Amino acid sequence: MKPISEQKAIIDIGSNSIRLVVFSYSSKEGLVEHYNYKTVARLSMHIDTFGNLSEEGIHLLIETLFNFKKILDDLSVTDVFAAATAAVRQAENRETIITKVKQQTDIKVTIISAKEEAYYGYLAVIHSTSIPSAVTIDMGGGSTEVTYFENKEMKFSHSFPFGAVSLKKRFITNGFMTTEEKISLIEFVREQFQSLEWLHNLQVPIIAIGGSARNIAQVDQERKNNSLHGTHQYELSTVDLQEISYKFTQSSLEGLKKIDGLSSDRADIIVPALETFRVFMEVVQSMVFIYSKKGLREGVIYAQLIKYFPDDFNVNSVTKNAVRHVLGKFHVDEHISLHLYEIFSSIYNKFGQWGYITPMQNDALLQYAYQLFHIGKEIDQEASSQHTFYLLTNLTIDGISNKDRLKLALLASYKNKDTFKQYIDLYPHTINSTESKQLRDIGALIRFTKGMDVLGRSHIKNVSIKRSMDKIEFIFLVVGNNILEQYQAEKLKKHIEKIVHVEVELKFLDMEEIE
């Protein structure tokens, strides 16, 4: 892969679906997905009794890839990497398959080994989340890859030769799983997982990859009326999975197809997948199940990009890089976004000491909120708060959990108490009253400080704060013309007064005159 921003394609030939993704990458904006097409092929259902992919299955694969080739030709995308996983990998006639595909579509297919598939899933997770230690499970149609990593370093990996489609084929006889069939499936997958000694009782988060995990996360969001968009890093508990299992048990196959959040083309395999995840949590003794939107395809892409952009893929700087990419998409310089941050920190720390605000435990999240403050002004200045809140509650930001992303959005979009209340009222069960007041007050501090940086090159160099019984005095040390800073500070000091409930007096002293 060339280290340039032209579009490239990944074709993921899975056991359940075949997907084409076209993307580009730059250090400024990060990985950008331009097109995403999927065909549900169910190749693993076309494996015959001799272990071969049938002629019907080969025809389906070639027809899908031929259509993808026409799309790529229309897009003038020539850099294509086609990766085949379990269905082709396990087929006895895999060499014949690859030859026929090349002859009829001119697409070279690379078979990804089980070990490589596990590694790519792990690679995607460590570069898109901030979780230091976890177990990953990537359940496809024909295989299930699991890994265990500590401090983002892989310790173990394994591939099980079963997936959602093959489990359906083995355990479901009449379209919908009976109680007896479910018991048999659970016994089978428990035996499989327990055979892997390093999995036992790890008591770390489980990070799940793949379409079945995505659908389960979506179902949980819908049943909870979770209006915060995005499933990457969405968390479920063991109780959540139990309740979803009960919901599925009460539904017929047609009923499953109508459940909000569940794709109708996955309804017949979702129960085997869900029960497998539940048994997996039991063996690992994990209390949290986290969905990762980033999986095999991203892992393949990252593996290639890391060679050319090693500084962009530091596993300990996932969120920092993600925020930089958001800034880059809106043409905001990372260094300019931090203007006056030291001034803000001085005020923030002093107010924390005096008990006016409750400091946040996550200092990094505070800085990211400061950097992204009113990023929506790049869309429309007048509605910058609304655009900022919408963007940050809809964007995927790697390394930030859904709840922290909501906190980030509330801080970065702060305009006044009324708009803050409008935003937070949309999420009544996510942020409690104590957190609400904390975020509102800190948001007001950010608004005050950011508001003084009118031109992105403020002349304010330092600040000292004094307080008495009826007044708080801010003394800003400045260099050069500071008329704009004074004007904005006087205009915005009301936000500070609402926190401290006393008069706020502002003074601007020229450092050169003092000397």
Query: What is the CATH classification number for the domain harbouring 483?
Result: 1.10.3210.10
Alpha-carbon distance of 483 to 500, in angstroms, equals 25
Judge contact between 142 and 87, C-beta under 8 A. Answer: yes
Q: For 79, left (φ over 0), alpha (ψ -120 to 50), or beta?
A: beta
Q: What is the pLDDT of residue 3?
A: 40
Is 274 inside any structural domain? Answer: yes
Residues 6+ apart with CB under 8 A from 465: 346, 347, 350, 472, 473, 474, 475
CA atoms within 13 A on the CB side of 142: 25
Residue (of 316, 330, 405) closest to 368 by Cα position: 405
Alpha-carbon distance of 68 to 426, in angstroms, equals 41
Is 311 inside any structural domain? Answer: no
Q: 76 and 122 share a domain?
A: no
Dihedral, CA of residue 306, residue 123, residue 126 and residue 267, to nearest 10 = 130
What tokens appear for 343 in the block? 């001034």
Per-residue pLDDT of 295-334, as tens digits, reads: 999 999 999 999 989 889 999 999 999 999 999 999 999 9
Full strand arrangement of the beta sheet holding 503-510: 460-467, 471-478, 503-510
Q: What is the pLDDT of residue 1?
A: 39
Q: What is the pLDDT of residue 174?
A: 85
Phi, psi of 260 (to 5 degrees): -60, 130
What tokens appear for 491 in the block? 């205009």
Count of domains observed in the chain: 3
Is 430 inside any structural domain? Answer: yes
Judge contact between 500 and 472, C-beta under 8 A. Answer: yes
Domain that holds residue 132: 115-294
Q: 84 and 123 share a domain?
A: no
Q: 20 and 150 share a domain?
A: no
Q: 447 and 494 share a domain?
A: yes
Q: Mark which of 112, 131, 162 sits at the end of a domain.
A: 112
Residue (of 427, 430, 512, 449) closest to 478 by Cα position: 512
Alpha-carbon distance of 187 to 469, in angstroms, equals 70
Alpha-carbon distance of 334 to 318, in angstroms, equals 15
* DSSP conformation letters of 242-306: HHHHHHHHT--HHHHHTSTTS-GGGTTTHHHHHHHHHHHHHHHT-SEEEEES--HHHHHHHHHHH
Is 492 inside any structural domain? Answer: yes
- pTM, rounded to two decimals: 0.90
10-residue mean pLDDT profile of the chain (515 residues): values are 68 94 94 94 92 96 97 95 94 96 96 96 96 97 96 97 93 89 97 97 97 96 84 95 95 93 93 97 97 95 91 93 95 92 96 96 96 94 95 93 94 97 90 95 97 83 93 93 90 95 94 69
Residue (of 243, 253, 84) closest to 168 by Cα position: 253
Q: 466 and 373 share a domain?
A: yes
Determine what percent of the chain falls in helix, strand and coil, rounding each to the nearest 5. Answer: 50, 20, 30
Judge contact between 356 and 499, C-beta under 8 A. Answer: yes
Q: What is the pLDDT of residue 515?
A: 57
Q: 37 and 17 share a domain?
A: yes
Alpha-carbon distance of 386 to 405, in angstroms, equals 15
Q: 337 and 435 share a domain?
A: yes
Q: 387 and 500 share a domain?
A: yes
Judge contact between 290 and 234, C-beta under 8 A. Answer: yes
Q: 133 and 96 share a domain?
A: no
Q: 108 and 119 share a domain?
A: no
CATH number of residue 85's parent domain: 3.30.420.40
Q: Is 83 helix (H, G, I), strand (E, B) or coil?
A: strand
CATH number of residue 177's parent domain: 3.30.420.150
Q: 234 and 361 share a domain?
A: no
Is 299 inside any structural domain? Answer: no
Residue (of 126, 158, 134) closest to 207 by Cα position: 134
Q: 265 and 334 share a domain?
A: no
Q: Mark which of 68, 89, 112 sits at the end of a domain.
A: 112
Helix (H) or strand (E) holding 68: helix 55-75
Helix (H) or strand (E) holding 19: strand 17-26
Is 305 inside any structural domain? Answer: no
